[in-house]
Amino acid sequence: MMDGKNRKSFMECFCDFMSDPENLPQEEVRAELKDLVVNTDQLEMMVAEIAKIGSQKRRLVWLKNAREKRTKIKKIFESKKIAGGSQNLKTKIKEILKGSYGEVAQSYAEAYFRKLESLSEKDLESLAEDMENLNLLEDLNKEEE
Amino acid sequence: MENDTVLKLLEAADWNDIIFRLTHYAFWRASRYTWRPGKSDQLLGGKTPEDIACEAMKKVWNGTRDWDPDKYPDLLKHLMWIVDSDMEHLYSSMEHKKTGNLPKFRPDDDSPADFSEIPSDPSSPVHAYSPTPEEDLVNREEKALEEKLKKKLYDLVMGDEDLEMLLLCFEEGIDKPEIIAAETGWDVSKVYNLKRKLLRKAKKINRIFLQGD
């Protein structure tokens, strides 16, 4: 039993007990709302609208952030002098920079590029090997899944 | 958690189910305040429980009250917390405007700490505040109304021993289904069934709350 000092009043207990929607079937909740003269059809439409607008706004923010990130990475990539004849590795590194291998791999690659003034095929091989040998890509993919 | 993951979770949520449960919750939470003199829509500054529920939903979507699924996996619970917080704020500010008093401190409340609710220092001269005659009168009126509503509730469940026992639990300050089950020896599912039984009497209960009938 609750001690007297902290005890809730009868009405507070009653309202709190009744307010908890857990374990109530939706039909009963809906029927109760109708009894309370709540227009449930209108409520459904309002909710759909809020979710639609909210989703659109969030997607816009997400797209803006993604574009900014892509531009930033592209600049880093373009600022480095990538040696010719290493097309496959370049493609692979590009994928890493695009974030296809996860954010940690992306950050790792970005940090790696910042260290170097120019990049040779060997540098690219080294980067890819480092990441593959450490099983980093696999672990990251697993984490992301 | 990544923002796009939160977005996906929000988009996948069953909003119809959520808004019905949240509005149900908001209605009963409002009743917690509105059994006092006055009507629910007046006390909530012209807002209805549906408005409060929809505003909570908007706040989650627009990030005003961002949802962190890692910390709070249950979206409905997060929204219920927002409803609680907004309603407490609304009620407190109205009570403050009406009486000039600080909001009541509710140490048993589950809602997160609010600095405006910090109890006063016992050594402070302000601590030994005694109500004005007007406040005393309001308090007595509230007490009388509570007794009246309580009596009507007992009349409503008269003859049903289980529901009467449930009301006795409320007298003891117990309202959590698990604790009620432990105190009465019932299975917790029985407590939920009794709640449904009480809800079926909702029309009468609502009339008691809304109209003081």
Q: Is residue B170 part of a domain?
A: yes
Minimal CA–CA distance to B83: which of B109, B115, B56, B107? Answer: B56
Minimal CA–CA distance to B111: which of B25, B46, B180? Answer: B25
Name residue A109's amino acid.
Answer: A
| pLDDT category of residue B138 using cuts at 50, 70 and 90 | confident
Torsion region of A22: left, alpha or beta (phi above 0 gives left; psi -120 to 50 gives alpha)? beta
Do residues B68 and B23 share a domain?
A: yes
Query: Euclidean distance between the first and final Cα of chain A, in Å?
Result: 47
Contact B7 A11 (CB under 8 A): no
> Tokens standing for A118?
């120019």
Q: What is the pLDDT of residue B202?
A: 59
Torsion region of B74: left, alpha or beta (phi above 0 gives left; psi -120 to 50 gives alpha)? beta
A-chain residue closest to B81, CA distance: A20
Do residues B159 and B73 share a domain?
A: no
Per-residue pLDDT tens over the stretch B156-171: 899 999 999 999 999 9
Q: How far apart are CA B155 and CA B151, in angstroms?
A: 6
Do residues B95 and B182 share a domain?
A: no
- Decide: A83 and A120 in contact? Cβ < 8 Å: yes
Residues in Cβ contact with A56 at an 8 Å cutoff, skipping those fewer than 6 apart: none
| CB within 8 Å of chain A, chain B residues 12-51 | 15-25, 27-29, 31-32, 35, 49-50
Which domain-ending residue is among B87, B117, B147? B117
pLDDT of A133 over the 80 cut: no
State whether residue A54 sits within 8 Å of chain B by CB: yes
Q: Which residues of A touch B61 (CB under 8 A)?
A: 50-51, 53-55, 57-58
Q: How far apart are CA B11 and CA B14, in angstroms?
A: 8
Q: Is residue B150 part of a domain?
A: yes
Q: Tell which wins on pLDDT, A130 or B157.
A: B157
A-chain residue closest to B12, CA distance: A51
Q: What is the pLDDT of residue A116?
A: 56
pLDDT of B195 over the 80 cut: yes
Do residues B84 and B165 share a domain?
A: no
Number of domains in chain B: 2
pLDDT of A50 over the 60 cut: yes
- Report DSSP letters for A109-120, one per residue: HHHHHHH-SEE-
Q: Residue with structure tokens 């007298």? A: B171
Best B3, B28, B87 member to test A by mutation, with max A CBs in 10 Å, is: B28
Across the range A94-106, mean pLDDT stands at: 64
- Report DSSP letters for A44-89, one per residue: HHHHHHHHHHHHHHHHHHHHHHHHHHHHHHHHHHHHSEEPSS-HHH
Do residues B137 and B112 share a domain?
A: no
> Tokens standing for A17?
């007990």
Which domain-ending residue is among B117, B151, B172? B117
Do residues B20 and B112 share a domain?
A: yes
Q: Is residue B46 part of a domain?
A: yes
State whether residue B211 sits within 8 Å of chain A by CB: no
Do residues B38 and B113 share a domain?
A: yes
Q: Tell which wins on pLDDT, B13 or B120.
A: B13
Do residues B137 and B194 share a domain?
A: yes
Q: Is residue B97 part of a domain?
A: yes
pLDDT of A141 over the 50 cut: no
State whether residue A57 sits within 8 Å of chain B by CB: yes
Contact B19 A44 (CB under 8 A): yes
- Decide: B91 and B85 in contact? Cβ < 8 Å: no
Averaged pLDDT score across all residues of chain B: 79
Q: Residue with structure tokens 């290493």? A: A86
pLDDT of A32 over the 70 cut: yes
| CB within 8 Å of chain A, chain B residues 64-123 | 76, 107-108
pLDDT of B41 over the 70 cut: no
Do residues B197 and B102 share a domain?
A: no
Contact A21 B24 (CB under 8 A): yes
State whether residue B156 sits within 8 Å of chain A by CB: no
From A1, A12, A26, residue closest to B20, measured CB to CB:
A26
Minimal CA–CA distance to B35: which of B143, B137, B109? Answer: B143
Rg (CA), chain B: 19
Domain residue limits at B152? 133-211
- Decide: B108 and A2 in contact? Cβ < 8 Å: yes
Q: Is residue B138 part of a domain?
A: yes
Do residues B40 and B84 share a domain?
A: yes
Which domain-ending residue is among B71, B92, B117? B117
Do residues B145 and B100 share a domain?
A: no
Minimal CA–CA distance to B102: which of B127, B137, B136? Answer: B127
Q: What is the pLDDT of residue A27?
A: 87
Averaged pLDDT score across all residues of chain A: 71
From B20, B60, B202, residue closest to A30, measured CB to CB:
B20
pLDDT of B67 over the 70 cut: yes
Q: Is residue B89 part of a domain?
A: yes
Per-residue pLDDT tens over the stretch B7-40: 889 999 999 999 999 999 998 888 777 655 444 4
Q: Is residue B126 part of a domain?
A: no
Residues in Cβ contact with B179 at an 8 Å cutoff, skipping those fewer than 6 apart: none
| pLDDT category of residue B80 using cuts at 50, 70 and 90 | very high
Contact A47 B50 (CB under 8 A): no
Q: Is residue B78 part of a domain?
A: yes
State whether residue A46 sits within 8 Å of chain B by CB: yes
Q: What is the DSSP letter of B100?
A: -
Report if pTM > 0.80.
Answer: no
Do residues B22 and B74 share a domain?
A: yes
